[in-house]
Amino acid sequence: MKLVVFDDVYVPAEDSHLLSRALDKESGSFLDVGCGSGFIGIRQALKGNSVDCIYISLIAVKNACWNGLLNNVDIRAYYSDLFSNVRGGYDVIAFNSPYLSRETEKGDVATEDNGVVGRFIEECGNYLNKGGRAYIVVSTENENYEKYIGMMDGWEVVGKKELFFERVEVWRKIKG
Ligand SMILES: C[S@@+](CC[C@H](N)C(=O)[O-])C[C@H]1O[C@@H](n2cnc3c(N)ncnc32)[C@H](O)[C@@H]1O
pLDDT in tens, 95-117: 999 877 666 666 666 677 788 99
Output the residue whose Cα is nearest ligand 1's atom 1.
98
Residue 3 inside a domain? The answer is: no
Residue 72 Cα to ligand 1 midpoint, Å, equals: 23
53: containing domain: 14-174
pLDDT digits over 27-86, tens only?
Answer: 999 999 999 999 999 999 999 999 999 999 999 999 999 999 999 999 999 999 999 999
Ligand 1 centroid distance, CA of 129 (Å): 23
What is the pLDDT averaged over residues 140-154? 93
Q: What is the pLDDT of residue 99?
A: 74
Whether residue 157 lies inside any domain: the answer is yes
* Exposure class string for 10-44: b at 16+ Cβ within 10 A, else e: bebeebbbbbbebbeebeebbbbbbbbbbbbbbbb
Q: Are strands 167-174 and 155-162 parallel, antiparallel or unpaired?
A: antiparallel
122-146 average pLDDT score: 95
Greatest CA separation for the chain:
42
Cβ atoms within 10 A of the Cβ of 141, count?
17
Which of 55, 85, 106, 111 is the best mutation target for the ligand 1 pocket, counting ligand atoms within 8 Å of the beta carbon and taking the most? 55
Domain-located, residue 97: yes
What is the separation of C-alpha 82 from the centre of its chain, rounded to a whole number of angstroms? 10
| Distance separating alpha carbons of residues 131 and 156, to the nearest angstrom | 15
| Total number of residues shown for the chain | 176
In a domain, 9, yes or no: no
Domain count, the chain: 1
Which residue among 8, 56, 169 is best mutated to probe the pocket of ligand 1, counting the most ligand atoms within 8 A of its Cβ? 56
Per-residue pLDDT, averaged over 153-165, amounts to 94
Give a yes or no: residue 25 inside a domain: yes
7 domain residue, yes or no: no
Residue 164 confidence class, pLDDT cut points 50, 70, 90: confident
- Could you tell me where the beta strands, DSSP code E, fall in 6-165? 30-33, 51-55, 76-79, 90-95, 128-139, 155-162
Nearest CA to 33 among 93, 90, 85? 93
Return the CATH number at 65.
3.40.50.150
Distance from Cα 54 to the centre of ligand 1, integer Å:
9
Say how many Å lie between the CA of residue 113 and the centre of ligand 1: 10
- Percent of the chain scoring above 90 in pLDDT: 85
DSSP state of 165: S
**pLDDT attached to residue 114:** 81
pLDDT at 77: 97
Closest CA to 110 of 20, 12, 2: 12
CB 168 within 8 A of CB 137: yes
| Most ligand 1 atoms within 8 A of CB, residue of 109, 112, 135 to mutate | 109
Find out whether the beta carbon of 34 lies less than 6 Å from any atom of ligand 1: yes
Q: Are 24 and 47 in contact (CB under 8 A)?
A: no
